[in-house]
Amino acid sequence: MEIVEENEFWEAQNSLQKIKQEIQSFIVGQEEALNQILWSMFAGGHALLEGLPGVGKTMMIKTISDAMSLTFSRVQFTPDLMPADITGTMMIEPDENGKQQFVFHRGPVFSNIVLADEINRATPKTQSALLEAMGEKTVTVVGKTEQLPEPFIVLATQNPIDLEGTYPLPEAQVDRFLCKINITYPTKEELRTIIDRTVTNKKESILPVISNLDVIQIQKLASNILVAEEMLDFAINTIMATHPDNELAPDTVRKYVRFGSGPRGLQSMIKVAKVRALMEGRFNVSIGDLKQVALPVLRHRIFLNFEGEASGITTDSLINDVLQSISEEQPA
């Protein structure tokens, strides 16, 4: 583990707060969702935003991009979108000697931030075009592998799966997302502010706060946040308690869960908790960090059985049961 100078730590924490403030100067409310997106990004992962149409998912991602000096591309996922429309393709072009040669034309995935808008409106074949990019940060076309830029972050939006014209995301792809973030409907006062900012002549401009090198540096600093053995035990027990056949599982998990979270869920929980600790100005992860990140990290990694799906129970409620059960076993 690298030794982090204290001034570097405080500069990183200050930069994170500046980013958040700049974004909130335009985006109304959604503080919890914004925090979770920033946790995902600075943990080096990808985020999936779910919410009803019109609640500002796309605008939030675009605003986050504007607050950072990062290259940005948007892909509108539709049923007729093809994998090559995302990754790029080989095309025959003449060289300086007039001979024909294959030239790779990069797709929109070659950006620091990729907005996969309404990702669940594309077919599973097209959705899977992002698997290699999200997992390995490379793209392979006709046997040739291209490295994606650093940092590389996919921020995807989707409408609730029961809406017309949507396809379920493959489980392998859902697991590539570090966090699944629910975008809630705004309050009455937030709706008033939204109207004031969007349908009047008042214009808010977003200024870039940090560069791509700053993002990479903060990601490295976050990875050096300390995790005590007690905190690691709490995280491990939380993951184990999501499995219905584990002795730590609460009754609701035993009754409604088919499969719990795997090792990637534990890795994600620790990574995201480190970023939250950094944002809060602490050098070490607390149980409070682990509890706060559990919902976005685990809600898409727990699979309900038939009885759970039929009863309408949510994975969020099951995670809360797990946290309560583990806290009783291991007090904060």
What are the tens digits of pLDDT across the range 223-264?
899 999 999 999 999 999 999 999 999 999 999 999 999 899
Distance CA 138, CA 152 (A): 10
Distance CA 173, CA 280 (A): 30
186, pLDDT greater than 50: yes
pLDDT number for residue 204: 64
> Read out DSSP for 89-138?
EEEEEE-TTS-EEEEEEE-TTSSSEEEEETGGGS-HHHHGGGHHHHHHSE
Q: Is 227 helix (H, G, I), strand (E, B) or coil?
A: coil
* Angle at which helices 229-240 and 315-329 cross, to 10°: 130
Q: Which residue has the higher pLDDT, 104 or 256?
A: 256
Averaged pLDDT for residues 75-80: 88
Q: Are strands 113-117 and 72-76 parallel, antiparallel or unpaired?
A: parallel
pLDDT band at residue 269, thresholds of 50, 70 and 90? very high
The full set of domains in the chain, from first to last, is 6-200+209-216 (3.40.50.300), 225-329 (1.10.8.80)
Residue 187: how many other CB atoms lie within 10 Å: 11
203, pLDDT greater than 60: no
pLDDT number for residue 126: 82
66 CB contacts (<8 Å, ≥6 apart)? Answer: 206, 208
147, pLDDT greater than 70: yes
pLDDT number for residue 2: 52
Lowest-confidence pick of 123-132, 164-173, 221-230, 247-256: 164-173
45, pLDDT greater than 60: yes
Distance CA 42, CA 137 (A): 16
Averaged pLDDT for residues 140-165: 80
4, pLDDT greater than 60: no
Task: Extract the tokens encoding 204.
Answer: 């808010």
> Quick one: which of 167, 84, 64, 70 has its CA closest to 118?
167
Q: Which residue has the higher pLDDT, 258 or 59?
A: 258
Q: Which residue has the higher pLDDT, 262 or 186?
A: 262
pLDDT number for residue 101: 75
Task: Extract the tokens encoding 323.
Answer: 């946290």
**3-state DSSP: the chain helix, strand, coil percent, rounded to 5?**
45, 15, 35
Q: State the chain's mean pLDDT as an integer.
A: 85
pTM, 2 dp: 0.86
> Read out DSSP for 122-189?
S-HHHHGGGHHHHHHSEEEETTEEEEPPSS-EEEEEE--TTSTT--PPPHHHHTT-SEEEEPPPP-HH
> Quick one: which of 184, 182, 215 has its CA closest to 68?
215
Distance CA 103, CA 90 (A): 5
Which amino acid, 97?
N
Residue 199 DSSP code = S
pLDDT band at residue 332, thresholds of 50, 70 and 90? very low
The neighbouring-strand residues paired with 284 are 226
